[in-house]
Structure formats: C-alpha cells, structure tokens
Amino acid sequence: MRVVIELRPAPEVVSAATESASPISAADITGALPGFTLDPAFPPVALPGATPVSDSAQQQTGTLLVRGEIPDDDRAARTALAGAAGVTGVFADPVIEPVLTCADDGPVGNWNDVAARLGRDTLTEAGLTGAGVALAVVDTGINAAQVNQVSGATITIDAARSWNPAGVAGKAGEFPVDHGTMCAFDALIAAPRATFLDIPALLSTRTGGSQMDGLLSDAIAAFAHLRTVLTAQPEDRRALVVSNSWGSFSPQWDFPVGDPGNYSDNPNHPFNIIVGSLDAAGADILFAAGNCGRDCPDGRCAYPERPITGANSHPAALSVAAIDTAGGRVGYSSQGPGRLSDRKPDLCAYSHFLGSTAFGPQAPDSGTSTACPVLAGVVAAFRTRWSATEVPPARLRELLQRTAAEGGAAGFDYDFGYGIVDPGSLLTELQKVAARA
C-alpha cells in the first residue's frame, strides 16, 4: 500500500532539506525503516502548521514528508513502522483522478453564454480581468495552443512559477490536450488576463498508473511549491488562486475512517493540513465537489454516502457544484454533506457547455471539473482589485456565499450549497466595502 510517512528528524536535517541550495535526499532523512520501501524519486516535503510561520521557525519545528510503500494488510508491519524512531505518522496516499463526467448528453449552451451569465463585460469595465493574479491549475497540464485557438485570446503561462512532479517531463503550457487544458480554458472565461501556473500533478509515472491519475503525495508537493510562490509575492498584492478538479473516488487506497492515517475524514492528514496552511497564508483554494450525485453517479464512485471527501470538503476550500447554463443542477454533481465540513458544496458554477473542445468538437466541458475552474476564474477576476491582504480568503468565501443567487431552497441546501455564483452582486458588495473604508 502506498503511504506518506511524516518524520521529525533533527533540526539540522530539516534545515538542509528546506534549503534549495543544499538539498538532501529522502534516503538521508529516513535511514532504514522497518517494512517501508522508500520512493527515492519523491523529494522530502516540509509540512507547515495551520498558521504561517517563518522559514527559520519551520526549519526548527517542522516535520518532513516522504513517500513509499508498506505491505498490504499487515498491521504488525505498520505498527512497527509507526513506532520507529523519528516517525510521527503513517498516512494513506490514495489515487487522485480528474473529476470527469458520466453523462453523455450534449452541451447546454456555449462558453459565450457562460461569459454572459457571469457578467464578464461588467467585470472587464470594472478592471476585473485577473491581470497580475496567479491562477494555478493543478491537473494534467495545459496546452496553451489549444486554449488560444478556441478562445481567440492568448493565455499567459508563467513557466518559472509552474511545477512538475518528480519524473514528469514536459514544459508548462505544452502538454497534450486533455483535462487540464479544459480547466485552463474554463478559468480564462472570467479571468482572461490572469497568469496561469501549470501544475501537472495528475500526470502519474507510478507503476501501474494511467496517464490521468496521480498520488495525493504529488498534490502535497505541488501545494508546498505553491506556498513558496505565494510567500514570494509582496504582501500587499498577494493573490494566488488554486483550481483543483480532481479527487479520491474510492476508499480502496485509503485507511479506514477513524484510523489516524485516513485521508477522507481526517483533518490531520498532511494534505488537509497543507491546504489549511496555504489558505491561512492567503491563497484562494477551490475543489470540484465531484461527480457522485445520486441522479447520475460516475462509475468510479465507491463511497456509499457523503461522497465529498478529504480536501474537496475542506472548510478552508470552496467546494464547487455544477449547474448548466439554464440554471438547472447537473445530475452528476455531488450532494453534501461533506466529510470534513458538513455544509458542502459551497456554491454552484456553470458546466456542461461547449467550450474548450478538448475532448472533441461537440463534446461539452462538463462535470464539476468545469464548474470549479469557472468559479476559480471569477475569484481571480476579483483578486485583480482586492488582494488577499485586503479581503482574506475566508472573508471572500463568506461574501461569495452571501451574494450567491438562489439555486434550490432559500439559504443553504446540499444540492446547490449557498446558491449560484453571482459576480454582479459580489461586485456591488465589495464596492460598498471599499466605499466604507
């Protein structure tokens, strides 16, 4: 079974591992651990606390994550590993996969309809285009040429701040047309001048893996990279939006609920901790709610109930459900409650429209995979004017919820969350806040 090991080595070892000028290998940190086969290609990742700390404090107090495998269904081996010197935790490293759709229906409207429903012209007139905002698409990689051809615009890719997981070749913006290209196109609708960070965490190189899934440990490393991107920004102009159209569909690779190594329901799993840390540092984090809705669940959905799991249900992330351009809930969109936070999904955004044509000339951009970057683009547009220092992510989430248009029942419900994203109402609210300041 694939796992992530949390270690607390001597402070000088942590310091060496976090100094880019003098990196050390995972083998240097672990030594010989009972029953554990190290993945030497995965570089050690420093795990921050939930609150931002200085680099020097992190080097003195932080823990490090490495990944590898342990024997399946061998409780004694796991107990021995957990009790080894320096080991502070053994956590599941489940497969993560794109949130593709199970529905075969044709598109409902097109991406220009989505732009109209989001009020993109009004946002543009207000200067809310995403200019100067970093928008990270954590997915299968972006093909900029495809996005440019279909949109008629030019997507800006920041290769220097993009990131590849260990063993993944390819240049930012030059990956094959696939799920990540669709997500980038959909984020561009509301934020045409955002600067995109290409984070192909789902391009797996693991034995037996497909070309469109990865391991949660790759996402941990990606978020650690994004933390450095965020903290390098001037504090008064801090703006990083992170779009995640993926999740873990099955408990097969997870430890059971209640086990300290579990991911789906465990706020103390390293990835859930690093999500909270990135939010606290000023990033807006969005996750697709998933395509396990009761009307039309994706065939991979293996949770019998409460399918919004792990970070997709994190209280510090926006969990995004899907509606079509007519305003109807799309049947595959997962319903709450969430596992880490009950009131999930948070909001609905548009999906199942003709857009990127990443999967064929008449294939819709679909699933909550599409709704998530559509909303990420809206968030990036507003970050053009209101930085995370001025309006922290938690405050922006609250304003998005409060200004949402009614979807189902008044207030919150488990189908639509707080309702349908309404950029016009959000703009009015933020302009009131600015006038009072």
Nearest to 71 by CA among 140, 172, 2: 2
- The answer to whether 189 and 114 have CB atoms below 8 angstroms apart is yes
Q: Higher confidence at residue 272 or residue 296?
A: 272
- The answer to whether 358 and 332 have CB atoms below 8 angstroms apart is no
Is 255's pLDDT higher than 50? yes
Give the pLDDT of residue 434.
Answer: 76
Share of residues in the chain with pLDDT > 90 (%): 71
Q: Higher confidence at residue 209 or residue 155?
A: 155
Average pLDDT over residues 119-139: 97
Give the pLDDT of residue 122.
Answer: 97
Average pLDDT over residues 255-283: 96
pLDDT in tens, 64-86: 999 999 998 788 889 999 999 88
pLDDT in tens, 296-310: 888 888 898 999 999
d(CA 382, CA 190): 10
pLDDT-derived band at 59 (thresholds 50, 70, 90) equals very low
| Residues whose CB is less than 8 angstroms from the CB of residue 12 and which lie 6 or more positions away in sequence, other chains included | none
Give the pLDDT of residue 19.
Answer: 59
Average pLDDT over residues 245-264: 93
Pick from 17-21, 119-123, 124-128: least confident: 17-21
Give the pLDDT of residue 105.
Answer: 74
Give the pLDDT of residue 349.
Answer: 98
pLDDT in tens, 360-410: 999 999 999 999 999 999 999 999 999 999 999 999 999 999 999 988 667
Give the pLDDT of residue 98.
Answer: 82
Give the pLDDT of residue 121.
Answer: 97
Q: Which of 43-47, 208-212, 402-406, 433-437 has the highest mean pLDDT?
A: 402-406
Give the pLDDT of residue 172.
Answer: 98
- What domains lie within the chain, and their CATH numbers? 2-92 (no CATH), 97-436 (3.40.50.200)
pLDDT in tens, 352-370: 999 999 999 999 999 999 9
Give the pLDDT of residue 390.
Answer: 94
Average pLDDT over residues 27-47: 88
Q: What is the chain's mean pLDDT, rounded?
A: 89
Give the pLDDT of residue 16.
Answer: 61
- The answer to whether 307 and 292 have CB atoms below 8 angstroms apart is yes
Find the helix or strand (DSSP H, E) in which 4 lies.
Answer: strand 2-7
Give the pLDDT of residue 8.
Answer: 87
Nearest to 246 by CA among 284, 199, 278: 199
d(CA 416, CA 344): 9
Strands 63-69 and 2-7: antiparallel
Give the pLDDT of residue 207.
Answer: 47
Find the helix or strand (DSSP H, E) in which 68 lies.
Answer: strand 63-69
Give the pLDDT of residue 382.
Answer: 98
pLDDT in tens, 140-191: 999 999 999 999 999 999 999 999 998 899 999 999 999 999 999 999 999 9
Strands 134-138 and 246-247: unpaired
d(CA 36, CA 16): 23
Helix (H, G, I), strand (E, B) or coil at 134: strand
pLDDT-derived band at 206 (thresholds 50, 70, 90) equals low
pLDDT in tens, 334-351: 999 999 999 999 999 999
Is 12's pLDDT higher than 90? no
Average pLDDT over residues 236-253: 93
Residue 114 falls in which region: left (phi positive, over 0), alpha (psi -120 to 50) or beta: alpha
